[in-house]
Every structure is written in structure tokens, then in C-alpha cells.
Copies of this chain bind each other. A is one copy, B any other.
Amino acid sequence: MSKNASVRRAPRMADVAAMAGVSGMTVSRVLRDPTCVTPETLQRIEQAIEATGYVANRVAGSLASRRTNIVGLIVPSLRNSLFVETIQGVSDVLGTSHPLMIADSGYSLAGEEAAIRAFLGQRVCAVVLHNTTHTDRSRVMLREAGIPCVETGNLTRQPIDMVASFSNRKAARAMTAYLIARGHRRIGFASLPTDDNDRAEERRAGYQAALSRARMPVDPALTIEVAAGLAGGAEALTYFLSLTPAVDAVFLSGDVLATGAVLEAKRRRIAIPKRLAIVGTDDSDLQERISPAVTTLRFPRYDIGRRAASMLLTRLDGRPVDPASVDLGFEIVERATA
């Protein structure tokens, strides 16, 4: 009943071994493969583990084996539900065998580099990155570390190692072509600032590619960058409506921007999609709840997370990953605004 007054330190493998009457090595083996000993020995060891409340020390194990099973993941922001989808996918596949360490870069390349450095200090066994643009140092550190790495934010042609994503360019091009096919001739494009943001940049390129292919002029006045948030979307809409001649469609890169534009258009009592079509990207359930429901691009972010994780596990398992670049595609979700 009385607690031992001395501070009881955490049980070590040797304690378990002693109690079970075997060597530490045997305990160590059993922990990784319970079938490698006689059932009787196994039982004694399991009892000892139970009795002592032993929890294997992965820190010591990692040092000895020179390898952890921690996977590091870096997203621009944790708050954004887009990234969270991917995180959940990664987490679901990794399960409990590979702890997940997560950091956010705060949308900056320097932030990403700092996170990578911290992860390498922890000797993570693999890394998942959302960004596909990085500082030189980040690339060097990752290469020197020699650990598997999957990028997920864009189907980049020059991955550090592997990539599981979709093509932002193709998606934007398809969406623009969709608008063109429906008869729109003056299409505005708004995104967040493209500095350090390869995704926005690629989408703009896709938008322009679609115009070119349709032999339509690429008017610089129709491509703008706005601040994030609903206000940014409203701002974009206001700008496009002020142009002469007027635009007949607007493509906003990002779900919040698109929502902001739709709300602003409603406020101004502009007929959607009759007078003005509005489309966005990053479909979320929000898009179908607002009225009119927004036509958007849908990206398989959860599956990208799953795929990224399984590519890593394959490589950690010593098997080659082929192809090292996986395109999970995208989808246009037609709704009421275009």
C-alpha cells in the first residue's frame, strides 16, 4: 500500500531481462519479433514487461541502430484545412509505428529550412514537404542526410527525391479551358502573391497556357495578386468589374478567394453566372454550402497524403519506388457559378 519513497526510475530492458531470467538481447529480439524465441520464453518476457510496466526506450534504440522511425512533415500552415487533409492521410498510413513530427513553415522558405534543420537534428528517417521550392541550403541538407523525401504541393519536374501530387498547371489550364468552352472570352485570374509560392505561379502559367492555346490574348491587366481572405476575393472582383471592357469570367486561385468574390458579387446583385462566371480551386464542403454553390477544382489531398506515406514506407523498407513521381490528378466540380 505504501509507495516506495525513493524515486523509482523507469525500468530498463535489463530489468525485464533479469526478471524473465534471460539476457537483454533476447528481450530486444522479442520486442521486434515475438516468434523468434520459444513460446515459453516469450511468455516469461511478456509477463516481466507487464509486471514492470516497461516501455522500450526508442531514444537508446535509435542511437544504437543509428536510425529512428520518426517521419517529419512540414506544411505552410497548420490552420489551413487543405494541408490538414494531407496530414491526416499521412498519419493514417504511418499509424503508430512511425511517429509523426509536424512543423509549419509559416509560408516562408526560411521557416521551412529551420524546420528541416530541426528535423535532421532529431534524425528523422524521412520527410514530407508541401513546398516544392526550397532554399539551396534546404536542398543540400536533405541530400546530405540521404533520407527519403516526398513533396506533395505540386507535381514538380525536379523533385528533391519523390513527389506525390497533382499538376497545378494542368488543373488551372483545364479550368480555364472549361470557361472558354462555355463561351467566356475575357477571363480574369487572381491569386495570392506568387513569390515563394510555386503553386500560385504554376496556376497562373496554366491559365495563360489555356488562353494561348485558344488563341486568346493574354492581357496583363487580367492577372492580379491579392491578399488572402474573403476580403481579397472581394477586392479581386471589384477590380475586375472596374475594367473596360468588362470581364465575363473570373478564376480565383483558392477557395476562400472564390467565396469572397461570390459574396461580393451577390452584394452587388450581379447575375451569376449569367453576367459573370466565377470559379475557384480547392473544393471544400464550404463551396457547396454557400449560395450559389461555387464551381471549383477538387484535389485529392487526403490521397496524396496516403500515397506520400506509402512511398516513404516502401523506401524505408528497402524497396525501390517506381515511379518516383505520382500524379493523383484533379477534378472539375461543376456547380452553379459557371
Q: A77: which B residues are within 8 A, CB to CB? A: 88
> A103 to B58, alpha carbons, bound, how many Å?
17
**Cβ of A238 under 8 Å from chain B:** no
> A77 to B62, alpha carbons, bound, how many Å?
28
* Stretch binding the partner chain, chosen from A116-124, A150-158, A269-277: A116-124
**Cβ of A55 under 8 Å from chain B:** yes
Nearest chain B CB to A72 CB, angstrom units: 8
Q: A68: which B residues are within 8 A, CB to CB? A: 59
**Cβ of A259 under 8 Å from chain B:** yes
> A70 to B96, alpha carbons, bound, how many Å?
16
B141 close to A53 (CB less than 8 A) = yes
Q: A47: which B residues are within 8 A, CB to CB? A: none
Q: A217: which B residues are within 8 A, CB to CB? A: none
Quick one: given A259-B289, A263-B289, are A115 and B96 in contact (CB under 8 Å)?
A: yes
Q: Is the interface of A mostly helix, strand, loop or mixed?
A: helix
- Specify which of B117, B123, B144 is in contact with A57 (CB 8 Å cutoff): B123
A56 close to B100 (CB less than 8 A) = no
Nearest chain B CB to A168 CB, angstrom units: 23
> A121 to B122, alpha carbons, bound, how many Å?
15
A81 close to B84 (CB less than 8 A) = yes
B145 close to A10 (CB less than 8 A) = yes
**Cβ of A91 under 8 Å from chain B:** yes
**Cβ of A30 under 8 Å from chain B:** no
Enumerate A163-214 residues with CB–CB distance to B below 8 Å: none
A53 close to B144 (CB less than 8 A) = yes
A58 close to B122 (CB less than 8 A) = yes
Enumerate A93-126 residues with CB–CB distance to B below 8 Å: 96, 99-104, 114-115, 117-123
B99 close to A88 (CB less than 8 A) = no
**Cβ of A282 under 8 Å from chain B:** no
What is the chain B residue whose CB lies nearest that of A262?
Answer: B289
**Cβ of A324 under 8 Å from chain B:** no
Q: A96: which B residues are within 8 A, CB to CB? A: 103, 114-115, 118
Enumerate A1-21 residues with CB–CB distance to B below 8 Å: 10
Quick one: given A55-B121, A121-B55, A122-B58, are A104 and B79 in contact (CB under 8 Å)?
A: no
Q: A60: which B residues are within 8 A, CB to CB? A: 63
**Cβ of A291 under 8 Å from chain B:** yes
> A2 to B140, alpha carbons, bound, how many Å?
17
> A68 to B121, alpha carbons, bound, how many Å?
12
B100 close to A103 (CB less than 8 A) = yes
Q: A121: which B residues are within 8 A, CB to CB? A: 55-58
B141 close to A55 (CB less than 8 A) = yes
Q: A63: which B residues are within 8 A, CB to CB? A: 59-60, 63
Which residues in A have some Cβ–Cβ distance to B below 8 Å?
A: 10, 53, 55-60, 62-63, 68, 70, 77-79, 81, 84-85, 87-88, 91, 96, 99-104, 114-115, 117-123, 140-141, 144-145, 230, 259, 263, 285-286, 289-291
